[in-house]
Structure 1
Amino acid sequence: MKPAGSNNKENFAKDPSQALEQLMESFGSTVMKTAYFYTGDRHLAEDISQEVFLRAYRNWNSFRGDSAVKTWLTTIAINVCRDKMGVRMFAEQPTDPSQMERGRTINVEEEVLRRLQKSVILRHLLRIPLPYQEALYLYYYLDLNTREIAEATSSPEGTVRNRLHRAREALAREMRKEETINEGHGE
């Protein structure tokens, strides 16, 4: 099944060099945020982003376009993160991509990311198990559907739907838990 819209391979240059430039322009931020989500380290996320686009460049001609380009790049990003992080990935909690340290220049995107950092939901998200964090991140932050998440994480689609369902329940429990604590303290 071919992806619909501007996210399919036909909308990018056939030449890998030209396609690379388009990919970096269109998805550079997504890849960087995904790498930072997994690593929590800006410099490592930058290295991983470079590796992702290098792999995309090398494999552009063999990419058939059966999935959306965004899904393909996200899959590469997840695999590179898992390769780089190894077992350590599951010992550490993913980091909110909005907490990425930036230069001193503040723009609208950075302001939005700063506000997300303070978001109650994100604070709670980081308290639930990693597979649930991953599912919610890919679904809500990257706007991937369950089929695309399954493809990107090499998981069955039913598992992804189950994780999303359980992640929402776990997130709700975490939020209720804090409400109960706050009510007990008279806040």
Structure 2
Amino acid sequence: MKPAGSNTKAHFPQDPAQALEQLMDSFGAIVMRTAYFYTGDRHLAEDISQDVFLRVYRKWTSFRGDSSVKTWLTTITVNVCRDKMGVRMFAEQPTDPGRMEQGRTIGVEEEALRRLEKSEVLQHVLRLPLPYQEALYLYYYLELSTREIAEAVSSPEGTVRNRLHRAREALAREMKKEE
């Protein structure tokens, strides 16, 4: 099944350089937030974002468009994060914005990261097992379907649905403990 709308490859230029510019404008914040979610480190997330878009540039002409562009970018981002982080994934909590360099103008990405970091729900999510964190983030924060998540993380769709179900239950228990 081909994706429809402005999230398809046909919506972007064939030339990789022109496509890259539009993709960075359209999906740069999503890639950055996802990398930050996986790493908990703003600088590493920036490096990963650059790696993602470098891969996108190199593989744009071979991308067939079987999935949506957002799903394809998310898949690349997840894989780059896993490659960079290995078993250290989620070992560190997101950085405290107070520790970031003072006196700089805060960009859109930094503001998005700050909001993400301060989210109470996210703090509860970060206490869950890693597969549950990933499923909740991709489903609720990036608004990917279970089919798109399955494609992005190379798991069966039934496994993704199961993880979401169990993650919701675990999150509810975690939040009740807080009360």
Q: Same fold (TM over 0.5)?
A: yes
Aligned to 1:135: 135
Q: For 1:95 and 1:172, how far apart are their aligned partners in 2?
A: 22
User: Structure 1 residues 31, 113: CA separation in 2 closer, same or farther (over 3 Å shift)?
Assistant: closer
Q: Following TM superposition, by how much is the alpha carbon of 1:118 offset from its aligned partner in structure 2, in angstroms?
A: 3.4
Q: For 1:60 and 1:129, how far apart are their aligned partners in 2?
A: 34
Deviations 1:20-77 (A, max 9, x none): 1011110111111111111111111111111100111111011000000010011001
Aligned to 2:161: 161
User: Structure 1 residues 174, 23: CA separation in 2 closer, same or farther (over 3 Å shift)?
Assistant: same
Aligned to 2:47: 47
Give 1:22-41 correspondences, 5 Å limit.
Answer: 22-41=22-41
Q: Following TM superposition, by how much is the alpha carbon of 1:119 offset from its aligned partner in structure 2, in angstroms?
A: 3.1
RMSD over aligned Cα atoms: 2.4
User: Structure 1 residues 165, 72: CA separation in 2 closer, same or farther (over 3 Å shift)?
Assistant: same
Aligned to 2:126: 126
Deviations 1:118-175 (A, max 9, x none): 3321221111111101101001111100000000000100000000001100000001
Give 1:71-150 correspondences, 5 Å limit.
Answer: 71-89=71-89, 92=91, 95=94, 104-106=104-106, 114-150=114-150
Q: For 1:36 and 1:47, how far apart are their aligned partners in 2?
A: 10
User: Structure 1 residues 20, 109: CA separation in 2 closer, same or farther (over 3 Å shift)?
Assistant: closer
> Does the 8 Å CA contact 1:42/1:100 hold for their aligned counterparts?
no
Q: Following TM superposition, by how much is the alpha carbon of 1:95 offset from its aligned partner in structure 2, in angstroms?
A: 3.9
Aligned to 1:182: none
Residue 61 of structure 1: SS of its match in structure 2? helix
Q: For 1:101 and 1:138, how far apart are their aligned partners in 2?
A: 26
User: Structure 1 residues 18, 139: CA separation in 2 closer, same or farther (over 3 Å shift)?
Assistant: same
Structure 1: state its 5+ residue gaps. Answer: 180-187
Aligned to 1:67: 67
* Larger radius of gyration between Structure 1 and Structure 2: 1
> Does the 8 Å CA contact 1:99/1:114 hold for their aligned counterparts?
no
| Percent sequence identity over aligned pairs | 77
Q: TM-score, normalised by structure 1?
A: 0.85
> Does the 8 Å CA contact 2:71/2:144 hold for their aligned counterparts?
yes
Aligned to 2:18: 18
Where has structure 1 moved over 2 Å in runs of 4 or more? 93-96, 98-120
Structure 2: state its 5+ residue gaps. Answer: none
